[in-house]
Structure 1
Amino acid sequence: MVAQREQTQGGGAGHESEHFVVVFPGYHRAWGTWIAHRLESHGHRTTLQRWDPDRDQPLAEALGDLQLASGRVLLVISDVFLQLGPRTEADWNAVLRGYVADNAGRFAAVNLTNRELLPATAVLEPVNLWGVGEEEAERRLLNRLGLRARRSRTPLPAYASRYPNDPPGVWGDIPRRNARFTGRDVILGDLQQQLMDAEHGAAVCTLVGTAGIGKTQIAAEYAHRFAPDYDVVWWVNCDQRNTQRDTFSSLASELGLGGVAEVGERVRAVRDALRRNEPSGRWLLIFDGWEEPEEAATYLPQGGTGHVLITSRNQNWRASTDIRAISGFRRAESTGYLMRRAPHITVEEADQVAGEFQDLPLQLAQAAAWLGEEGMEVSEYLRMVRGVGLTRLDNRSMPDDYPYSSLTSWSLLLNKLRKSEPRAVELLSLCAVFSPGRIPLGLARGIPSAELPEHLRWISTDRAGWARALDSLVNYSVLTRESRGPSVGDDDQEDSVHMHQVVHSVISELTQGRENDAYRDSVHRLLVEADPGAPNDSRQWGRYAELLPHLLAAAAPASKERRVQEMLLNCLRYCYASGEYTLGIELAESIREEWEGFLGAGDLPLHTLTTLQGNLLRMAGGFREAQSLDSARLERLRETPGADEEAVMEATSCLASDLRLLGQYDEALTLQEEVVEVSRGLYGPAEWTSLLAQHNLAVGLRLLGRYEDAYETDLDTLRKREQVLRARHLNTLSSGNACARDLRMMGRYQEAVARQDLGMRLHLQVLGPQHPQTLLARHNLLLCQRRAGTSRQDMATAMAALLEQQEQVHGRGHYSTLALLTDYGNFLREHGDLELSRELLTEAEDGFRALLGPAHPVSTAMQSNVGLILQAEGDRDGALTMFEQALAGLTSLLGPDHPATLGCALNTSGGRNMSESLDTAHELSQDAFHRARATLGEDHPLTLSCMIATACDLRSLRRREEAYEVEAEALDRLTRSLGAQHHHTLAARQRARPYWDYEPYLG
């Protein structure tokens, strides 16, 4: 059947309208909606079709049903799509090779995963939309369908969703999306319609059901599935009232509601802002596990156009909200879920298991784990379950909240406390060991009594005494009480207090707790309890930030207990992950000063300290200090018989990083290859340590100019990190940056922009605008956009703004700031602001020379940028001198085939040409062209620039015919690779001599 077409007015001659049936699993509803809107904006008609055929229906018949409508069928496929039913690989392969192949003209597909699809899906010729920005995705979609973009588009409806890859501006700790989420499409669709159709201010729905029925999973899937419909999505865990208040009130900072300090005021400010639809009326609040309907007025905005979703076991919510009762899975959902996770079981066996657990999702997940991951037979599993009662659920009680107090006068109070509540004074003695501010005092309740001095054992055994002592301090306003985070075990462990600086100074003097070893040791144990144990998780950074001020105040580095030492190391890991480099270096120095007094050089804690200290020093620009630490350690380990292989590997990795930064690229790569081999042997290729080693290997390859190899390595690392870690993990985001950088260095500018644009949005959401990695991502995006041809004014404004941020975070002399100064200076020179350009480039060159020394590749290559300034100012001799010096230095340091050397050779040939050394200019440009073609490929922009330069030199030598041939081929390749309107192409057509400015990169 031929797709129905009809002439569309306003689209231009030859623009025909088509009808498309956009078919998607519920999991990808957002993509189906976006694709439909995109096609409609170009004048085409669409029908959206959620597709989840019954498992008893043959696939060919189900696909045939889709063709009953006119037009082509566009399948939104991924590994999720290919598990519908569930179906076996054999089922899919058969229908793809048979029915779909026979009707290939009626089918097309887009692919939304980076995981490998079945080979037979090639018949659909799916275009990959994974990991690219909206503009690129639309271009690929239209190209796949053979459609032309309309000049005059049909306006999108007001309710049109945002591009699915673009996260909402505010995304508040939503649970990670469950890739195994099954069914519930009717519930989710009805829920969205119910919220959309509700009157303004009344769009509140409560999912009610028993524990384990899947309410939280449905709410989380709703947030992910419909995220493009919202600008603000905020998740509030209501297991504890204090957690609920704190989490809800923390939305204030995300909404820009500054100047509100007290939690109750923040709650009110957030509620009122949402009621006024500030900053946007497209907001979604999710309250998970909220059991007290009487508190609804405290949190729910009475107005606004946003939506509220609540999960609860309390049916009384029906008095104030709409209710949606949640029951177990439908039987088809239960069996489908079980068979996907345990493909060895039959439909009949899955039905038995589902019946045993009454289709309860929580228990089915447990059953699927046993059956799938253990490979257990259903009969054996059911016997076990019926024997041990695996299906029972435990109900949790809700902890009480604790009131807040205000700080008032303390001076007349202490003597009264000594007489009436001596235990309160003992708590104050503990507080005196901390630094002033927030103190996680309640964690002392979790310390086993045997680990406390005898006079403090009451803290862990006498709950009533604890409550009285603490209440006295709070009631008398010596302390204010704070509570944060979910309780674990004893509710009192969540008691945190705040002590003002003045009060702390007086109490420290009067209680002398700081000088008492018993109190100090107890605080050390308390700090261990406060360690979340996850320093790389950005969600825990707030807790680590609170711990840091107390470490030196409590003399924690002097402790000889391994648990305390590990807590200190975790705090250093947090400093590295969060970008607190200076603070981390100061802490590491204090720890080393203590540890070297009682730890041996080969002890593991000291070894780990060296690794972390070196990492922090490198990030702060202390390359030589890091190398001194790491080389001494590696030498010592290699001289130690039977040294631990992991310790040697880690030391080798650190030294490789130092050498890369110091410009010793070949030696660094050799060491890093050794690290990768050892790591894979110890942990396997997909473990996070092995992936870090692989990531660093790509850095080394990139520094050596092996961009294709670096990209292949980085892309593999990215895919594995997305699976092993998560898409929003710090390391995964770093891999995304690396892939975009590789693409840019390879000359694939548009692809680089598409990838980095999406990565930038994720960095802002996960790490915030001031995190060092976010600044690096923004810098990379600007370079991608500059190479791709972003407008001059936009680029100048963005670079100036980023420079201001870099100075705030790193200071003017940090290597990342120096790199930005260079790139900004190059841009300004290119656009005529020679005075400011010279100022910035001179500052950057001096800074790199001071930081790295004169013989470093970066310092050497900077001379070429200075030469371009001199050339633009008319100082040809000075420019040529700088070019020649840079070329000689880079040839010696990196070899003649390195891209940086070739870029410098291009500039040098131009300098020679302008100085009338025409033969040597031609000789150099031609040599650079041949080397670039062999190193980078014949269509790389640098290769083509060398080719254009060769044509210029031939023309200067009056070899016009040869020049014309070379120039024509170069222009043809530039047009095909970069486009006819790219500035490189336009400059070449105008016969402007090409140049290559150097972008400093340290790795």
Structure 2
Amino acid sequence: MPPALLAAATLDLGLDSPSENPDWADVPAVVTWFEQLPSVPGSHPPLILFVERVAHDPTVSVSRELHEWIETRSGLDPATQREIHVTTLRHSVRLRALSNESYTDGKVGQNGHPSTPHGGDPGALSSSVLAHTPSATAEITETGSGREPVRIWGGVPLRNPDFTGRETLLSNLRKALETRSAASVLPQTLHGMGGVGKTQLAVEFVYRYSDQYDVVWWIAAEQQSLVLQSLLDLSRRLGLPRTEDMRQTATMVMDALATTPLRWLLVYDNALNPDDITGLVPSAGGHVILTSRNQTWASVWDAIEVDVFDRPESVELIRKRGNVIAREDAEALAEKLGDLPLALDQAASWQKATGMPVGEYLELFDHHVRELLDEGRPASYPTTVAAFVNIAFERLRVDAPAVAQLLELFAFLGAEPLSVSLLRSAKNSNVSQPLAGVLRDTIKLNRTIRALRQYGLARVGGDQSIQVHRLVQLVLRDGLSEDLAEQSRRNAQAILSAANPEEPDESRSWPIYALIEPHLQPAGLIYSDRRDAHQVVIDQIRYLGVIGDSEGARRLGELTVNVWQKNRTAPNLGPDGEHTLLATRHLAVALSDLGLSGRAKALKLEAFRRFQENAAFGRLHEHTLSTLLSIGTDLRAAGDFKEALASENDAVERHEAAFGEDDTLTISALGNRAVSLRMLSRFQEAYDVDIKRISTLQDTVGENNWRTLLAQSNLARDLYGLGRYTEALELQRGVLPLHSSTLGDRHPHVLLAIRTLTIALRKTGSYREALPYARTNFRDLTARFGPDHEHVLSAAMTLANTLRVMGQPGEARNIAMSTLTKYRRVFGDEHPLTLAASTNTAIILRALGEHRDAFDLDERTLRSLTNALGAEHGYTLCAASNHSNNLAQAHDLQAARDLSRKTLELSRSVRGVEHPYTLACAVNSALDLVASGDSVQGRELLDETVLAMSRTLGPDHPETVDVGRGKRAECDIEPPPT
């Protein structure tokens, strides 16, 4: 190289040395001199800056070789290499002169970019374009911010103002928690028979020692679904990612509590089965209390037995709760009630409400005890409680029949609280008198609820909920006559049916469904002959699936379908009944969510056939068409994209015939067709469909409706597929905040939109901003769907692709190889999504120099994609362009040239001339022309392509810079959601 060039490069860079300058004619001495120069803090090695600067000079014939040397020998990541490329370019005096000349000559290209003289090294061409950019690629540094821990308190019952005694038990409980949980968490069980006050003891402990904890969470543990729902609520309060799988959420909560610096206390109240709780104890960091009637807990963990009161405690409680009861009467009552706290509390409350003398009460009590003993009542509850309840009911049915009828409801409700709002919503329901009159009059209802509390028959919480002790419920159920039992059961069913919002997909209704859930099976809604009761069950199956309790939805769905298929009397049940088929469809959705896609698809097809062949529904009924749409989803997930599109086209035609083009159901069908079009790489057609959908949705449901926002996110995916990355990024950025505020930042639609944002950021060159999004999105999707779900695997490949362009191919390889293994296991070797993952993995292997493995993987993948999707599909074109890189690396220059030329022609025809991936194909084709001896044609094509990339992506886009440095282009794949 001319000595003057080396000296000028040094001058441009402003590099100084305490020693004398070298002899510029002695190139080895110049290199040694630069190696010995000290690096400026915050800058890059002087030798690398020098070599990059020399490579920019248009007179240098080995520019590409110099760039390759920096890439392979510098040890710097690709982002840093690009930064050096752009930085040194701005120091180039000669190139600035060339740039000014291009401006003053008036040679201006499209979008105001200056045209550049052709000829010379390909690196010099892009340099003249880059010299006009104001700055290098923007970098966004992720910064953290600390926050003070927030007190979290949930589910704890109201404190009992009349709590009595138990000081020794409280002290023992505290000591046991402090000493036995010092190293690892050992739950402390409070066990004893029903009614001894285990729950009240735990409540008092929580309030008395609450200042020692940052997190206190009370969990009603009688039903596993309620435990999981409570832990889901806790996960939200802890700020954890939301997941469709509630068991995974529970695991996340356990892990978070085990590692947080917050002090925490979990209380599992009325935990029946040890197997339900053993996996729900954090390994460290806090305390766990369980209450249970099951004595086997003592063999699992440390246990404290809670027995009946000591006599002084019994007397104290009776006199505190009752109405001027003498000590001797209190002694007699405690003796009669066996010092059972629940019975004492109820009896004292009854005496206070009625004013009945204790002597009279004891006479009545003796009478009812004899009845109970004579009738051989089960031993699952104390006779003291049974006698008390029967006394109360005998008086209530005479003095306050509406109160008695309200209480009788609880014989057929769950043990969890019943919201008063549910009762109010049932004011027009078909319930029996006098309860019907009470429900229709707010004042009467409030009085009736107060009466329940005064008589000690129920607890009314500050959140306006009524709870009847499970022992009282059992006595009620046993004591009702057959006619009264049937009346109460129907009343409970009518109230729950009236409360049903009938919109399980809408998040605003989920709190109501959560209130209904624990009462659904005790009320016997599955076995009811009421049509509205059946709708409650159907909606509950759907609700459980939507909130992520897919296993709960499956259990309820299978029970329901099994019962309803055998019912030959109800007109909407039986094998062909409307509600049976709807329940079957929702069951199939739950099975799909659990990964049981084969059975799910079979159920959907069977339900579709029965709907279509049933004269009451037919081919154009809403139920038939909704089931048809869900079948298209299964076909896409199976990789049958063309068959899915045919199914969607059929569905759209039927919807238009049944409801018209602008109906919301038709718009939903169009949305599904657009999804199939995207999977077939027909992005322009999908774009046209989504534009129409958005316009219609804005007019029908409004701009801020979640359906409109989802359609806009889909439009962003269309723009991405069309190579309009900046438009996709701007649209998704604009929609995402509203989408998140409408559905929540952990809703599946929002998480998928964040992935679209991530890949758009990467494709617009904002690699550093994209990486934290990619990591967080992968984590959040994993938490919501589990490790093997399609969305999670796609997010994993997005993360791997982002790590690769950020210069971290080692981590990218680990993620990609693990993900590819899962794709093969879950979807099969020949599934298009598996093949897309194979294409991405081969790129990463090439970046690591594992050329043989990359060659073999790409060769197999290209063959499989061609067979599965055809030569013109976008995935196939990516694989073909990438395989030309393998051929070039293997020095099979003619084969590389033939493949890259053919791929370029197909891409121009399918994607368009200036699609970024068409330009990537053009880059590889140009370099293959140069390498195989056609230098003039190759460099002309390369010059044109660099200018086109500058117009399309921007002159300082990393891919444009890489092409300027003589690098071959790679085409990775980011599949849209199926």
Name the TM tier (shorter chain).
Answer: 0.5 to 0.7
How many angstroms does 1:747 deviate by?
1.0
| Larger RCO (CA within 8 A; separation ≥ 6) | 2
Q: 1:866 aligns with which of 841, 844, 865?
A: 841
- Could you tell me how far 1:575 is from its partner in structure 2? 4.5
Distance 2:858 2:644 in 1: 27
Residue of 555, 579, 585 corresponding to 1:605: 579
The letter for the 2-side match of 1:926 is R
Aligned-partner Cα distance in 2 for 1:479–1:920: 84
CA contact (8 A) 2:406 2:435 kept: no
TM-score (norm 2): 0.56
Distance (Å, rounded) in 2 between the aligned partners of 1:868 and 1:716: 37
Please give the per-residue CA displacement for 1:275-333, whole angstroms capped at 9, x wherever unaligned.
xxxxxxxxxxxxxxxxxxxxxxxxxxxxxxxxxxxxxxxxxxxxxxxxxxxxxxxxxxx
The separation in 2 between residues aligned to 1:260 and 1:850, in whole angstroms, is 39
- Is 1:587 the equivalent of 2:556? yes
In 2, Cα distance between the equivalents of 1:689 and 1:773?
A: 19
1:621, distance to aligned residue in structure 2 (A): 4.2
497, 508, 513: which one aligns with 2:465:
497
Deviation track 1:16-38 (CA, whole Å, cap 9, x = no partner) reads xxxxxxxxxxxxxxxxxxxxxxx
Cα displacement string for residues 557-610 of structure 1 (whole angstroms, at most 9, x for unaligned residues): 222311112223333444455555454344323322222221233222123223
Q: Which one of 470, 473, 490 corresponds to residue 452 of structure 2? A: 473
Q: 1:561 aligns with which of 511, 522, 530?
A: 530
Q: 2:859 aligns with which of 872, 876, 884?
A: 884
Q: CA deviation at 1:661?
A: 1.3
SS at match of 2:829: coil
Please give the alpha-carbon distance, in whole angstroms, between the structure 2 residues aligned to 1:566 and 1:593.
Answer: 16
Displacement, 1:693? 0.2
- Does 2:906 match 1:931? yes
Distance 1:564 1:762 in 2: 36
Contact 1:826–1:837 (Cα < 8 Å) also in 2: yes
In structure 2, what is the equivalent of residue 948 of structure 1? 923
Note if contact 1:533-1:570 (Cα within 8 Å) is conserved in structure 2: yes
- In structure 1, distance between residues paired with 2:731 and 2:865: 31
TM superposition shift of 1:457:
6.0
**1:433 counterpart residue number:** 412
Distance 1:450 1:542 in 2: 21
* 1:403-462 superposed Cα distances (whole Å, 9 cap, x missing partner): xxxxx9744344534465455454344234333434135645676899445786675589
Change (3 A) 1:586 1:966: farther
- Residues in 2 aligned to 1:799 and 1:466: alpha-carbon distance in whole angstroms: 54
State the alpha-carbon separation in 2 of the partners of residues 462 and 933 from structure 1.
73
Per-residue deviation, 1:260: 12
2:558 counterpart of 1:626: no
TM-score normalised per structure 1: 0.55
For residues 820 and 678 of structure 1, the distance between their equivalents in structure 2, rounded to whole angstroms, comes to 35
One-letter amino acid matched to 2:897: H
Deviates more, 1:844-853 or 1:894-903: 844-853
Shift of 1:754: 0.9
Match of 1:732 among 693, 708, 713: 708
Could you say if the C-alpha distance between residues 822 and 507 of structure 1 is closer, same or farther in structure 2, counting changes exceeding 3 Å? farther
Note the C-alpha offset of 1:791.
3.8
Query: Paired residue for 2:888?
Result: 913
**1:924-970 Cα distance to aligned partner (Å, 9 max, x none):** 11111111111111111111111101112112212211211211121
Question: For residues 401-416 of structure 1, what are the structure 2 equivalents within 5 Å?
Answer: 410-414=342-346, 416=350
- Equivalent-residue separation in structure 2 for 1:821 and 1:750 (angstroms): 23
Residues 535 and 573 in structure 1, CA contact (< 8 A), matched pair in contact too: yes
Identify which of 504, 509, 514 aligns with 1:545: 514
Q: 1:464 to 1:768 in 2, by over 3 A?
A: closer
Among 449, 473, 483, the alignment partner of 1:508 is: 473
What does residue 686 of structure 2 align with? Answer: 710
Q: CA–CA distance in 2 between the matches of 1:980 and 1:726?
A: 39
Deviations along 1:626-685, whole A, 9 cap, x unmatched? 211122233445566786122443332222221111111111111111111110111111
Change (3 A) 1:723 1:429: same
User: CA separation of 1:666/1:437 partners in 2, compared to 1, >3 Å: closer, same or farther?
Assistant: same
Is the contact between residue 819 and residue 1000 of structure 1 (CA under 8 Å) also seen in structure 2? yes
Separation in 1, partners of 2:445, 2:848: 77
Q: Sequence identity of aligned pairs in percent? A: 25
Q: Post-superposition shift, 1:988?
A: 1.3
Displacement of 1:787 in angstroms is 1.1
Q: In the alignment, does 2:824 pair up with 1:855? A: no
Kindly provide the amino acid, as one letter, of the partner of residue 517 in structure 2: L
TM-fit CA distance, 1:745 = 1.3
Which range moves more in the overlay, 538-547 or 707-716?
A: 538-547
Q: 1:498, CA displacement in angstroms?
A: 4.1
| Residue equivalent to 2:37 | none
Provide Cα deviations, 1:751-780, integer angstroms capped at 9, x if missing partner.
Answer: 111110121101221111121211111111
* Counterpart position of 2:786: 811
Query: Which protein is richer in helix relative to its size?
Result: 2
Alpha-carbon separation, structure 2, partners of 1:482 and 1:934:
69
Distance change >3 Å, CA 586–CA 844, structure 1 → 2:
farther
Aligned length: 591
Q: Which of residues 637, 650, 656 is equivalent to 2:626?
A: 650
CA distance in 2, matches of 1:530, 1:733: 29
Does the CA-based 8 Å contact 2:662-2:696 persist in structure 1? Answer: yes
Shift in alpha-carbon separation, 1:936–1:527, aligned structure 2, 3 A: same
CA contact (8 A) 1:621 1:815 kept: no
Local SS of the residue matching 1:979: coil
Structure 1: unaligned runs, 5 residues or longer: 1-148, 152-256, 262-407, 485-495
CA distance in 2: counterparts of 1:556 and 1:907, whole angstroms = 59
Structure 1 letter corresponding to 2:452:
L
| Separation in structure 2 between the aligned mates of residue 962 and residue 534 of structure 1, nearest angstrom | 64
Provide the aligned C-alpha RMSD in A: 3.3
CA contact (8 A) 2:678 2:976 kept: no
SS at match of 1:412: helix
Distance (Å, rounded) in 2 between the aligned partners of 1:944 and 1:606:
55
SS in 1 for 2:521: helix
Map 1:76-475 onto structure 2 (within 5 A).
410-414=342-346, 416=350, 417-418=392-393, 420-422=395-397, 423=401, 424=403, 426-441=405-420, 443-444=422-423, 451-452=430-431, 466-475=445-454
Structure-2 residue corresponding to 1:337: none
The answer to whether the 8 Å contact 2:591/2:597 transfers is yes
Mapped partners of 1:727, 1:570: distance in 2 = 27
1:481–1:498 CA contact under 8 A, matched in 2: yes
What is the distance in 2 between the residues matched to 1:920 and 1:638? 54
Partner of 1:596: 565
Query: Equivalents in 2 of 1:617, 1:581: separation in Å?
Result: 8
Residue 787 (structure 1) aligns with:
763
Report what 1:325 is aligned to.
none
Q: Which moved more, 1:472-481 or 1:520-529?
A: 472-481
CA contact (8 A) 2:564 2:575 kept: no
Report the secondary structure of 2:566's partner residue: coil
Q: Which has the larger radius of gyration?
A: 2
Partners of 1:807 and 1:498 lie apart in 2 by 38
Residue identity in the other structure for 1:958:
G
Sort the Cα spacing of 1:749 and 1:909 in 2 relative to 1 into closer, same or farther, 3 A: same
Tell me the SS of whatever aligns to 1:997.
coil
Partner residue of 2:939?
A: 964
Opposite residue 832 of structure 1, the aligned amino acid is G
Q: Structure 1: how far apart are the matches of 2:599 and 2:655? A: 26
Would the aligned equivalents of 2:722 and 2:911 in 1 still touch at CA under 8 Å?
yes
Tell me: CA distance 1:682–1:409, structure 2 relative to 1, closer, same or farther (3 Å). farther
Q: What is the aligned counterpart of 1:767 among 743, 753, 757?
A: 743
